[in-house]
Amino acid sequence: TPTEKKYHINEQEVLAAVWAIRKYRMFLQDAPFRLFTDNRALLWLKRYQDERAKLTRWALMLQGYQFSVTHVPGTRNEFPDFLSRNPDQTPEDDQPTSDPNQYPTLNAIQERTVYEEIVEAQRTDESCQLDKARLQRLQREEPVDAEERRIKEEYALVDGCIWRRNPDALLLLYVPRPLRRRILEEYHDSPHAAHPGRDETLLAIQRRYWWPKLVRDVTDWVKSCTICAAVKIGPPQAKAPLRPRTPTEPWQVVSLDVLGPYEEAPRQSRYVVVLMDTFTRWVEVKPVATTRAKELVTFMEEVFARYGYPASIITDAARLYQS
């Protein structure tokens, strides 16, 4: 549902587990079973106690089942991970491009790599080693003051990694200083991130990671982005003469336009969205009811899910594209 799409990434993982257990309850109700997941945050699933209604309802529902939660690293969770990916449509005889990252797609492979880098950074970072030693001591002993009680409540040590609990009691992976720039580049500068604003970048990072002064770092990073500054809408300026763009490979440059309205057409097809690859002249067309941004975004998500993201998109100066 639209509401579920806005859930925190860890809440989506819990929702998936709850949905699967409900769907197969006729097999699971009277028999003990194990839930395997590559999300460490689900390890607290049956022990959750809090006033938040949504998570509490899920936890209470699961109390009726006899099961344990086992963490499986993503590299060993191949089959479920494979089913969650978009299919690879690349022909077997296709020649590799000069840039293997020309067509990025939204999948979990990059996140696995980033996670492994963070684990290694935590293992070698001197500050992290001191923090881990303190957390290990607090796991064995009672806190001696208010500061240690706060640390024990807010932080957790899971599989040798430092995690921080957010206000919803979900675990966020702590990012050591050497890798913070890497995370900022991944969630703001990369092609699939597409240079979102400060709030969107911050929200995306806060779904998985945490470090001190995260808000300040994201704010400074977005403010200093030269690409964002160049495309930011400002006072009218003199424009250079138009020059033709000559792509060198498929799906490098695509053109997007909206035709209509066609008064004779049915209400749900008054407009037509057209997207064309300028190299192959391949065309994707979809009739839509309105020219609202939501319609255009849905159309582009459908196309990009099949072919990946193009390097650039050409449109006219219509106001509807500015949103």
- What pLDDT shows up at residue 266? 87
- What pLDDT shows up at residue 94? 53
Note the pLDDT tens digit of each residue in 253-280.
999 999 888 888 888 888 999 999 999 9
Direct distance between the N- and C-terminal alpha carbons of the chain, in angstroms, rounded to an integer: 23
Cα separations in angstroms, 91 against 86, 272, 283 = 15, 30, 20
DSSP structure class, residue 29: T
**Are the C-beta atoms of residues 256 and 275 closer than 8 Å to each other?**
yes
Note the pLDDT tens digit of each residue in 288-323.
988 888 888 899 999 999 888 898 888 887 777 666
Residue that has been written with the tokens 């899971």 in this structure: 158
Q: What pTM was computed for the model?
A: 0.43
**Are the C-beta atoms of residues 81 and 74 closer than 8 Å to each other?**
yes
**Long-range CB contacts (within 8 A, 24+) of 268-274:** 271/295, 273/299
> How would you write 147-204 as a 3-class SS string?
HHHHHHHHEEEECCEEEEECCCCCEEEECCHHHHHHHHHHHHHCCCCCCCCHHHHHHH
- What pLDDT shows up at residue 303? 92
Note the pLDDT tens digit of each residue in 4-55.
777 777 777 788 888 888 888 878 877 888 888 777 666 666 565 555 567 7
DSSP structure class, residue 46: G
Using DSSP, state whether 253 is helix, strand or coil.
strand
Cα separations in angstroms, 149 against 100, 144, 153 = 49, 8, 6
Q: E-strand spans in 23-179?
A: 33-37, 67-71, 155-158, 161-165, 171-174
What's the rounded mean pLDDT across residues 60-79? 74
- Tell the burial category of 142 from Cβ atoms under 10 Å away from its Cβ (0-12, 13-18, 19+): exposed
Alpha-carbon gap, residue 103 to 105, rounded angstroms: 7
Using DSSP, state whether 275 is helix, strand or coil.
strand
The helix or strand, by DSSP H or E, that contains position 274, with its residue range, turns out to be strand 271-277
Sorted by where each starts, the structural domains of the chain and their CATH numbers stand as: 2-78 (no CATH), 109-230 (1.10.340.70), 253-321 (3.30.420.10)
| Partners of residue 36 on adjacent β-strands | 70
Note the pLDDT tens digit of each residue in 123-162.
888 888 888 888 888 877 787 788 888 888 888 888 888 8
Residues 6+ apart with CB under 8 A from 245: 253, 278, 314
- What pLDDT shows up at residue 75? 66
